[in-house]
């Protein structure tokens, strides 16, 4: 008898899920079908359904910018994404309410985003399946320059690689960590001729130093 009741319970849940899918959107249906096809597990089926419904009116993804319009952003989705988003190109609406940041900085605009930038986007799915971004985070990758300091100002340091001849000027700020001969100092202690490495991040058209480690 107990086994019979369990069978009826599972059948009822399956019927409920089928009804929801019939009235839901294609994103939810596709996600659920993928889960069922993957392992045929009913628990995974229901988990996928709940995840899809939870993300029905919201979206989130990571990817690389392929085009920047006057009020839109096209991204090649290739990283993490919500259940109602697929990999490939996705165009999102960007308006005055969209918050655009890079490394926690605010007050950026759509014009600050470049083709090739890596971004994380979150927003709302409209009834017509259009995507409106309410948050765009520009993912900034750390870089490094090795060589000798050839110039410095109150807010910048220039380092030249003697092998390649490449020079890089970076901006320093109160958050820049500076180490000289193994001891923590300030950017004011840096001198022309010091040798070492400068770690920095590209912030729009500026390179901002995060760590300067030098020897004299």
Q: Check residues 166 and 139 and name the one with the higher pLDDT.
A: 166
Tens digits of residue pLDDT in 104-156: 565 788 988 888 888 888 888 888 889 999 888 888 777 899 999 999 999 99
- Looking at residue 53, its pLDDT comes to 39
Contact yes or no for 194/214 (Cβ under 8 A): yes
Burial 122-131 (b: 16+ CB within 10 A, else e): bbebeeeeeb
Q: What's the whole-number mean pLDDT along residues 37-65? A: 55
Reply yes or no on whether the pLDDT at 185 is more than 80: yes
Contact yes or no for 38/103 (Cβ under 8 A): no
In which band, very low, low, confident or very high, does the pLDDT at 201 lie, cut at 50, 70 and 90?
confident
> Residue 26 and residue 19: Cα distance in Å, rounded?
14
- Looking at residue 12, its pLDDT comes to 42
- Looking at residue 26, its pLDDT comes to 36
Reply yes or no on whether the pLDDT at 58 is more than 70: yes
Reply yes or no on whether the pLDDT at 188 is more than 70: yes
Domain annotation for the chain: domains and CATH numbers = 2-54 (no CATH), 58-139 (2.40.50.320), 142-215 (2.40.50.320)
pTM: 0.51
């Amino acid at each position: 008898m107990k086994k019979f009741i369990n069978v009826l319970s599972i059948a009822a849940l399956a019927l409920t899920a089928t009804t929801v899918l019939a009235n839901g959107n294609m994103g939810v249906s596709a996600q659920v079908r993928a889960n069922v096809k993957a392992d045929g597990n009913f628990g995974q089926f229901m988990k996928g359904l709940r995840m899809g419904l939870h993300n029905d009116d919201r979206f989130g993804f990571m990817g690389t910018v392929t085009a920047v319009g006057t009020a839109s952003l096209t991204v090649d989705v290739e990283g993490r994404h919500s259940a109602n988003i697929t990999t490939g190109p996705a165009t999102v609406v960007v308006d005055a309410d969209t918050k655009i940041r890079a490394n926690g900085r605010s007050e950026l605009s759509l014009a600050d985003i470049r083709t090739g930038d890596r971004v994380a986007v979150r927003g709302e799915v409209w009834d017509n399946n259009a995507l409106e971004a309410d948050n765009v985070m520009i993912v900034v990758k750390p870089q490094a320059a090795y060589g000798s300091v050839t110039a410095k100002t109150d807010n910048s340091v220039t380092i030249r690689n003697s092998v390649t001849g490449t020079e890089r000027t970076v901006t320093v700020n109160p958050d820049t960590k500076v180490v000289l001969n193994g001891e923590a100092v300030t950017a004011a202690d840096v001198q022309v001729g010091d040798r070492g490495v400068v770690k920095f991040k590209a912030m729009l058209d500026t390179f901002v130093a995060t760590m300067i480690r030098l020897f004299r």
